[in-house]
Each structure stands twice: as C-alpha cells, then as structure tokens.
Amino acid sequence: MYCAFLVSFMFLVGCGSSDSGERPVPVPVPEPNVQLTVTPSGELSMPATGETRNIKVTSNVEWVLSSNQKWFNVTPTSGYAGETSLKLTAEANRSGEARTAILTFSSGSYAQTYNIKQEIGKEENYVPEGYTLVWQDEFNDARLAGGKPAMPNTTKWYYETGAHGWGNNELENYVAGTYGTDTCAVITDGTLKIVAKKNANQVISIRMNTSESWQYGYFEAKLKLPQGRGTWPAFWMLPKTNQLTWPDDGEIDIMEEVGYRPNWVSSSIHCKAYYHSIGTQKTAEKFITTAESDFHTYAVEWTEDFIWGFVDGDCYFKFSNDKTGNKATWPFNVPFYLKLNLAWGGNWGGSQGVDERSGRKQTSGYL
C-alpha cells in the first residue's frame, strides 16, 4: 500500500503602497489580573486511611491543574471562569511516613500552588501470635558504584531462567536479572521492581526463588501488582526437591492475578487430588480495589493442620489437612521455598489476549 499526504500551503501577500514608511509597532495585549482562590484555603489534610474530599476553585480566568504525586486522583484538571468543584481521592498511606502533594493551578504565566497533606500511615502487623521472624528481605540495598540500582541479593535469591512455556504456554523468557542492556530486577527506594519488557522479538522477565526453604510458618509479602492484559504476577511456593513431580508434590499459591481481570486476586493449593486440569482445584478469589495502584499484604499461614490465605489480614482461603496420610490430598509436610515471578500470556494470563505495549512492572515492598 502506498500512502501519500498532500499538504497545501497558502501564502497571503498584502496589497498596498510600496512606500517605505515605518510600520506601526504592535501593542502587546496585557494578561488579565488573575484572581484564583481555593476553598478551603491554605492546605487540605487527608487521613492515612485514604478518602475522597472536595475543594472549590473560584477564578476569573480559565485554568489548568497539574500535580507532582500519583497517590491521589483529581478530577477535573481544568476549569473556566467562575466556580469549579474538584474531587480529590487519596489512596491509603502505608508508607510509614507523612506525605505532601502539590497542586499547581496555571493560567498563562500565572501559577499558584496548593498543598495536600496526608497523615503518617500505620504499618499494619498481620502476623499471628506465636511466630518468630527467621528470614526477611526488605530490599533496602544501597545503590551500586556509579549510582546504578542494586539487584536482588544472590545469597538470598536465585534466578530460574529459560523460555520453556513453563507448563502453561507462557510467552516470556526468564532471565538472570539482566539481558544485554536491559535490567528486569531493580531495587530502588526500598522496593524490588520486577519488569517484563520486550527485547527484540521476545518478552523478558524474572522468576526468582529463595535459597532457603521452610516447613510450616507464616509467609507474607507487600506487593503492588502490574497493569495490562497478558500480565500474570505470582507469589507462591514449591517443595524443595531435586525432581519435582507436578501436581503430586504440591503447590501453594499465595497470590495470583491476571491482567484481564484487574484487582481480582486469588489464593490456591494444587496436589494430585486437587488441581485445575481435572476441575478439582481448591481456590478462592477476592476483589481488592487498589491491587494495581497500591501496596497490599498477601500472606499464607501453613501448619500441619491447615493452609490459610490472607490479604491485608483478612482470611479468604482455607484448606484443611484431611489427616488420612495420603500424599494425594496433603503433600504439604515437607519444606517449601518462596517464588516471585511476572509471567506474560499463557493459558490463563493470555486467555483473552495480551497488550502489545512494552514494559509492565510488579513492585515488592518486602518479604
């Protein structure tokens, strides 16, 4: 197909005398005297729990609004002369620090700022009584020489690599942190970012596992999930064995989400008697309004009697040991290790197509 764009230019030539008299000097039009007020005046305080508030802008000119933070949403972002009501919705503050956002109202060369302050967030403690901390990674690693971001600590983690489909026809090629000039596992600002991105004719991403394993315990991670059709983030566990037989040896899914069903998270177990291929899976789902825009704590409590799944301390999945001693129904009596990955496409993640735009990010606050 050949497409041509035809662009016409029109030159306007003034007709008149050809005398060489001086032309009149244009008189600049003065900008109006802008009068813009925000009610309530001064600044607005928001609680740490997050909520929606309204402010009123009164102005004698048209204006536009910009902000320097993403933890709240403002609508509308422009207005005309007169009164305009704005709706501000703040996310819950789980950062452990108070924070401030600056709104800037502009009209021509005029600019006026307005502060939104949010109270200090409380770090929730969802750990049941009776547990002692034995392992953690808070991703507070310092930057490398030259200012480059740190990468996961390889004494705590190892990468699982390859483009094998992983039993689910997934599209990604898992790499060992970097691939050429691309880095897919980055630690900055106290968080781990796992990035799935296009590289030539492939998608590269990260699948990382803990070097240690445990039998029974309480395991949690603070995660913010990626957006986009085709994404499939997971926080899960497999048994520590040299020769895995799936599903016979068991699998514990602490958190999974697929991008075509945003903010629906699930927790599941798989074993020989209970798994999705034969329609007997044991799973539960929960809708989290801000799973893709804010951090939430996903956890599992695993004992010799039960496996329970949690989001922000709310138990929504329960599976009990039937005490028959049958591995087909309870293979969960050996050490398991933790896994973090961001898959792309596949039987579940790609069942409704994938977004071709490059770059999706899963963020972990701690494990």
CA distance 334 to 62: 67
- Is 251 among the catalytic positions? yes
- Say which of 170, 172, 220, 251 is annotated catalytic: 251
Tokens of 294: 């804010």
Q: What is the separation of C-alpha 331 from the centre of its chain, rounded to a whole number of angstroms? A: 33
- Is 129 among the catalytic positions? no
Q: Is 337 helix (H, G, I), strand (E, B) or coil?
A: strand
- Say which of 172, 256, 257, 292 is annotated catalytic: 256
Q: Which amino acid is at 96?
A: G
CA distance 162 to 205: 10
- 331 with 306: CB under 8 angstroms? no
Closest CA to 303 of 188, 214, 175: 214
Q: Which amino acid is at 245?
A: T
Closest CA to 233 of 275, 263, 198, 200: 263
Q: Is 139 helix (H, G, I), strand (E, B) or coil?
A: coil
**Which residues have CB under 8 Å from 247's CB, separation 6+?**
270, 271, 272, 275
Which residues are annotated as catalytic? 251, 256
